Amino acid sequence: MMAPDLASIPGAIFQACQDIIFPPSCLGCRNPLPASRLPLFCVSCREQLKWLKAPLCPGCGRPWPAGSGVDHWCGPCRQKPPFYNRARAAVIYQDPVAAAIQTCKYQADLAALASLASLARCSPALDLGAAQSIAIRAAEYDYILPVPLHLERLRQRGFNQALLLARAFFPGQKKKIRFDLLARQRMTRPQAGMSGHQRRLNLKGAFEVLKPEKIRRRSLLLVDDVLTTGTTVNECARILRLAGAAGVDVFTLARVRE
């Protein structure tokens, strides 16, 4: 008897068999799910998702409480404008998304990553019909650059989550997504618990533009998993602007709430 050709099994049946062998579970609470439909979150975890929407700071994208009027600048952006034009994110960094991001990064769970990316694609930030202040549209950029990992860290982890997310956020933009233009040339210490000044010192000289001639006069989108204080993407934007980039925007899956 011939072995069945896996490619000839219709996708839905194949998925159903997979679900029996490897029952899908919610990325937030780990409770079993009836089927692997992306994003892999149960109904109650989905209800806890905090989508970022207006009103927000036009620069760093910090959200203002609902009902507090129109978009307006925050104090830090007014005092020291960031080197990027605007940073936007899909959701606030909290569970269940925070737990799922940790699973992706430290357990190399690529199904979790695909799930998170599909979640971001439902967000107002990537919705083609969304208001201008929120929307990030791939068509407006010459290149999409994932925030790079140092080679050593890449070897340890085996993948750069920012690159995988960029590919999943913007399917059909493969040619625009470039990981050969910006590199992290120095290992930096984990930034949790550092002051703003310490973070900036820690990142000094950490990034390098590899092909300045490709960057000059280009409009760029930086992609990362989480925006914490924004120091990392701001440092990337600083050296990209120094290399002559026309403008830099930032998109992250999640954003820490201050």
Sign of CA dihedral 160, 162, 165, 166: negative
When binding is defined by CB under 5 A, the residue of 52, 60, 90, 100 that contacts Zn ion is: 60
| Closest approach of Zn ion to the CB of residue 137, in Å | 21
Closer residue to Zn ion in complex, CB, 29/194: 29
Beta carbons of 70 and 53 less than 8 angstroms apart: no
- DSSP three-state, residue 36: coil
Closer residue to Zn ion in complex, CB, 74/135: 74
When binding is defined by CB under 5 A, the residue of 24, 39, 40, 45 that contacts Zn ion is: 45
Question: What is the 8-class DSSP label of residue 163?
Answer: H
Closer residue to Zn ion in complex, CB, 58/212: 58
Contacts of the segment 125-134: beta carbons below 8 A, 24+ positions apart = 125/52, 125/88, 125/89, 125/90, 125/251, 126/90, 126/169, 126/251, 131/54, 133/54, 133/56, 133/58, 133/71, 134/52, 134/53, 134/54, 134/56, 134/88
Q: Does 24 bind Zn ion (CB under 5 A)?
A: no
Beta bridge partners of 202: none
Stretch of 40-48, 85-93, 190-198, 250-258 lying at the interface with Zn ion (CB under 5 A): 40-48
* Furthest CA-CA distance within the chain: 74
Backbone angles phi, psi at 158, to 5 degrees: 90, -10
Q: Does 63 bind Zn ion (CB under 5 A)?
A: no
| Closest approach of Zn ion to the CB of residue 58, in Å | 7
| Closest approach of Zn ion to the CB of residue 230, in Å | 9
Sign of CA dihedral 56, 231, 139, 114: negative
Q: Does 74 bind Zn ion (CB under 5 A)?
A: yes
When binding is defined by CB under 5 A, the residue of 57, 116, 203, 222 that contacts Zn ion is: 57
Structure tokens at 145: 């650059």
Closer residue to Zn ion in complex, CB, 43/128: 43
Backbone angles phi, psi at 155, to 5 degrees: -65, -40
Q: Does 77 bind Zn ion (CB under 5 A)?
A: yes
Closer residue to Zn ion in complex, CB, 51/159: 51
Q: Does 247 bind Zn ion (CB under 5 A)?
A: no
Closer residue to Zn ion in complex, CB, 40/203: 40
Write out the residues near Zn ion by the rule CB under 5 A.
26, 28-29, 42, 45, 57, 59-60, 62, 74, 77
